[in-house]
Amino acid sequence: MKAKPPEKSSGDWTDEERVSAVRRMFREITPRYDLLNHILSGCQDIYWRRVVAGRVPSEAELILDLASGTGDMALALARRTGAKIIGVDFVREMLAVGVEKSMRRGCSGRIAYLTGDALELPFADNIFDAVTIAFGLRNIPDKDRALAEMSRVVKPGGRVFVLEMTFPRNRQAKRFFHWYFKQVIPRLGGLISSRRQAYEYLPESIAGFLTPAQLADRMERAGLTAVRARSLSFGVTCLHEGTVP
């Protein structure tokens, strides 16, 4: 019998392999995604999205939430602003949970969910007052194109918000989170979701993501101005924001 070839680690994936693995993983972990987010982050994920929603200008009327997943960012925006929100994601199963939660919370009149790819947004130029992407950019190989698309659909003067996980810079915090990401998350995530590979990918994707300074640089290269980064929860998460000129 032929031996099974060893599985490639996510660091060795081609861009195409990454995109299909991301689609498959999110489809598979959909039923446990929200629960695991809250458990693994100690409910900090709720606070991080609230911070983003609190930074969106109060006069915003139309907001795009990209890589919307199960809709928690869109729901935080609906709670904090009076805007209409469109959530876009390329995994229909994740969006279906968002639709159901929005109905349960009485927000379905304010949030619409659409299946779509961050690299080819089905919108005209300059129509949104703001765009948010929470824990999504890390999963997109062509980050420059995603940032360019986000800037394209936002009106001049509108805002772009990127919320992402990072490794803290403080040495002790870094050591702790390294252990937590490498040892705890794959085991606990694997146990609860029965999809250990997805929770091995999570820390690998964080480790392989841009540093806050590199991300700020990419946002500037995408044409955004007044780019600022704000570190949250000991630097384990970072919120970048920029303005479309």
- What's the CA dihedral at 183, 186, 187, 193 to 10 degrees? 160
Between 29 and 219, name the residue whose CB sits nearer to ligand SAM: 29
For residue 235, the minimal CB distance to ligand SAM (Å) is 19
Q: How far apart are CA 31 and CA 50, in angstroms?
A: 23
Nearest by Cα to 135 from 37, 10, 27, 243 = 37
For residue 132, the minimal CB distance to ligand SAM (Å) is 8
Identify whether the C-beta of residue 207 lies closer than 8 Å to the C-beta of residue 180: no
**What does the binding site for ligand SAM look like in residue numbers (CB under 6 A)?**
22, 26, 67-69, 72-73, 89-91, 94, 117-119, 134-136, 139-140
Between 136 and 203, name the residue whose CB sits nearer to ligand SAM: 136
Query: What values do phi and psi take at 70, rounded to 5?
Result: -90, 15
HEC readout, 87-129: EEECCHHHHHHHHHHHHHCCCCCCEEEEECECCECCCCCCCEE
Residue nearest to ligand SAM (CB): 69
Between 46 and 226, name the residue whose CB sits nearer to ligand SAM: 46
For residue 184, the minimal CB distance to ligand SAM (Å) is 18
Can you tell me whether residue 158 is helix, strand or coil? Answer: strand
For residue 9, the minimal CB distance to ligand SAM (Å) is 19
For residue 4, the minimal CB distance to ligand SAM (Å) is 27
DSSP state of 7: P
Between 74 and 229, name the residue whose CB sits nearer to ligand SAM: 74
Between 59 and 120, name the residue whose CB sits nearer to ligand SAM: 120
